[in-house]
Amino acid sequence: MPQELVARMITFDNKILFVGFGFVARCTLPILLDHIKIEPKNITIIDFEPDEDALRPWIEKGVTFVQDKVSPDNLGNVLGRHVGEGDLLIDLAWNIDCCEIVSWCHDHGVLYLNTSVELWDPYEHAKDAHPTQLTLYWRHMNLRRMISEWTESGPTAVLEHGANPGLISHFTKQAMLDIADACLEEQKFSGQQAERIAQYRKAHTFNYLAKELGVKVIHCSERDTQISNSPKEVDEFVNTWSVEGFREEGTTTAEMGWGTHEKNFLHLHTT
């Protein structure tokens, strides 16, 4: 690795626990080690269905693997065996209740990162619950209610930070900075407005920066470039994403966000 990249790496002397070692975790671990200096012996992976071929090169480097499954009955015991205050938990499993695991990390001083706000069983009360209770918004509000009751601050928890949502936010912010730089360089704005743009750009105040630049819509599109050795058949639907994730999102309640800048609601159609 080039020395200039090594110099920019962050040293982490505590432990890191990966919960789940599917394809996302297998991509995350090597990227993590490109940015963080940590002894492999300080990294532990938990998964209930081990893939020996995927795990072997990491175990040979010193990473610890434990075959186990986090459940409502053992969450505290399993996590407590591997991480404590100052450590980092990277949750890349599925169907682990977000409120419970975030609460545990908060109480035990453990840094936390996940890619999705999930439940133990998203289908448990689906038939009897009101549609609004099945939304992601409802889960977010439950998290906010829980956090509002905390009397002490705790370690950082970054939620829903995968590809989208997550990485796409960094791409968007970089695009905003690039637009601001181009507009200032080409003198698209002048006077106090140019000064405000320069100020917001320097401070990374992205909401005001977007307002000054006139950005009203940010459209995020994705293109799947994965190629399989089994060509798709005619009239066949192929899912390259998580099977469980696709099933859950494909059957849950539809949601639509309405920005605070929108002053009028859409026309409510009647039947």
- Tens of pLDDT, residue by residue over 54-89, are 999 999 999 999 999 999 999 999 999 999 999 999
pLDDT at 5: 62
Tell me the C-alpha to C-alpha distance, in Å, between residue 66 and each of 27, 38, 59.
19, 19, 11
Query: Under CATH, what is the fold of the domain 7-158?
Result: Rossmann fold (3.40.50)
If residue 223 lies in a helix (H) or strand (E), which one and from where to where? none
Q: What does the domain layout of the chain look like in residue ranges?
A: 7-158, 168-213
Burial class (CB in 10 A: 0-12, 13-18, 19+), 239: exposed
What's the whole-number mean pLDDT along residues 13-30?
94
Torsion of CA 88, 84, 86, 144, to 10 degrees: 70
pTM (2 d.p.): 0.85
> Which residue in this structure is represented by tokens 């010193």?
62
Residue 248 — very low, low, confident or very high, per pLDDT cuts 50/70/90?
A: confident
Model pLDDT, residue 3:
66
pLDDT tens by residue, 92-116: 998 999 999 999 999 999 999 999 9
For residue 271, the model assigns a pLDDT of: 60
Which element (helix H / strand E) includes 167? helix 167-185
116/227 Cα distance (integer angstroms): 25
What is the chain's length?
A: 271
CA 206 – CA 178 distance, rounded (Å):
12
Q: Residue 267: pLDDT above 80? A: no
- The region that residue 130 occupies, defined by phi over 0 for left and psi between -120 and 50 for alpha, beta otherwise, is beta
